[in-house]
Amino acid sequence: MGKNSLPLSFYQSYDTLTLAQKLLGCELVHDSPDGITSGIIVETEAYLANDPACHAYNRRTARTEPMYSQAGTIYVYLIYGMYQCVNVVSNAEGIGEAVLIRALQPVQGIELMHQRRSLIETKTAKKIKAVTVKELCRGPGKLVKAMGIERDLHNNQLLDESTLYINKPEFLDFEIASSVRIGINVGVALPYRFIIKNNLFVSK
């Protein structure tokens, strides 16, 4: 964990919607055995307990158990049987809420990010297209692959005790825009997606 990393008190100081905005401009860092990779958080989505799109909306399960931990816990889950997504648990312990990190602006370890994404591409495509820096972490599944975030290693760990952590804001002067969330079938009208306005690394 770096000297500039956010303490647990930061995550515990805000409600979920506010935290989703406060994380913008902060730097997500993974200090892995392969090397350090990091990126500025430029896009997030909030998921609240009373939100039908939230995993904790219906009932508490083994899969969603990390969401009920204290704010600052890492929640990594698998979607569509192939993509993993990384979330920061929020709100009070016992309330299932979290902030999805949707996109990063790469900062450290860009070559390593390219290598990780290339390994994935070779398994899924006959003709490999070079991944641009802009596309490396432009979406929740892409950024997890580029950052080398593994569910078994990080799920249900606290950000202040993990090799995955978040540093204090690198970007300080920017405008936040909000919109409806992407890729969901319920709760589609809720304006719980937050981005750094006009940032080129925000997902489509």
Q: Could you read off the pLDDT tens digit of each residue along the chain, which spans 204 residues? A: 777 899 999 999 999 999 999 999 999 999 999 999 999 999 999 999 999 999 999 889 988 999 999 999 999 998 877 789 999 999 999 999 999 999 999 999 999 999 999 875 555 555 556 789 999 999 999 999 999 999 999 999 999 999 999 999 988 899 999 999 998 999 999 999 999 999 999 998
> Going by CATH, does the domain composed of 8-196 fall within 3.10.300.10?
yes
Q: Name which of 179, 203, 195, 171 is nearest 40 in CA terms.
A: 171
What residue ranges do the domains of the chain occupy? 8-196
Q: What is the DSSP string of 100-139?
A: EEEEEEEEE-HHHHHHHHHHHHHHH-SSPPPPPHHHHTBS
* pTM tops 0.85: yes
Q: Which residues pair with 195 in a beta bridge?
A: 43, 177
Compute the distance between CA of residue 161 and CA of residue 170 in angstroms, rounded to an integer: 21
Strand partners of residue 99: 46, 88
- Residue 25 CA to residue 174 CA, distance in Å, equals 8
